[in-house]
Amino acid sequence: MEGLKGLLRHVPAYVLLQRVVGADKLRYRCIDEVKAGETVLDIGCGPAYYFPRLPQPLKYHGFDTDAPYIDWATQHFGGENASFHCGIFDEAAARSLPQIDVVLLLGLLHHLSDEQCTDLLNLAASVLSPGGRVVSVDTCFEPSQGRISRWMSENDRGEYVRDPAGFEKLALQSFGQVEGEVINDVTHIPASYWMMRMTAPSSL
């Protein structure tokens, strides 16, 4: 397992594995939430290999703490309307941005502790335009999953894989409206994910 986790730090290997297991289709499901002409913030964007599937025109801001991922994304997709930044998405970063229509948190929350999730979701809520939304998707534990799917969840790189109620509770601290669904039919190997659409920031 450690070998696989190390390999995933190699960007082409990460992108290839995402496609092989069908995790790209999971991302495309989330990206369907974005409309042409919108401004998108992608926190924990990784190499953003799904960027070409975003509707155009669009303004895009990607943040990730991993320099090789950001370098790869910049090289492949960077341009006048797409910028990639290496670092934690913090208050200073939030203040540097225009109002955001869609915040993407694709595969991020299950890497963060409850406290880190709360801080990040509050920050995401603070950058939204009126009517803006936050879309997240994460590996989860859910009652209908079989043994292979459960094994996948137990062995995910993220240390904070939760059940849907756990993710929802965190989201409801920052948003008045949270809709969620289990997605377990998109990847080529059995795996369960929890996708959330968060609107109506509580701070407004």
Ligand X SMILES: C[S@@+](CC[C@H](N)C(=O)[O-])C[C@H]1O[C@@H](n2cnc3c(N)ncnc32)[C@H](O)[C@@H]1O
CB of 108 to ligand X, least distance (A): 5
- The residue (of 10 and 177) whose beta carbon lies closer to ligand X is 10
Give the shortest CB-69-to-ligand X separation in angstroms. Answer: 5
The upper half-sphere exposure of residue 53, i.e. CA atoms within 13 Å in the direction of its Cβ, equals 13
Give me the least distance between CB of 24 and ligand X, in Å please.
8
* Residues of span 88-107 touching ligand X by CB under 6 A: 88-89, 106-107
Burial (CB < 10 A; 0-12, 13-18, 19+), residue 113, is: exposed
Q: How many residues bind ligand X (CB under 6 A)?
A: 17
CA angle 161, 164, 170 (to 5 degrees): 80
User: Which one of residues 11, 34, 44, 54 is an interface residue with ligand X (CB under 6 A)?
Assistant: 44
Q: Do 129 and 199 meet the contact criterion of CB atoms below 8 Å apart?
A: no
b/e map 78-102, b = 16+ CB within 10 Å = beeebbbbbeebeeebbeebeebbb
198 binds ligand X (CB under 6 A): no
Report residue 129 as tokens: 């335009």
- Residue in 76, 85, 111, 150 binding ligand X, rule: CB under 6 A: 111
Taking CB under 6 A as the rule, does residue 180 contact ligand X?
no
Residue 117 binds to ligand X (criterion: CB under 6 A)? no
What is the total residue count of the chain? 204
Give the integer Cα–Cα distance in Å for 194 and 202. Answer: 22
When binding is defined by CB under 6 A, the residue of 46, 132, 164, 201 that contacts ligand X is 46
Decide if residue 138 touches ligand X (CB under 6 A): no
Q: Interface residues with ligand X (CB under 6 A)?
A: 18, 27, 43-46, 63-66, 69, 88-89, 106-108, 111
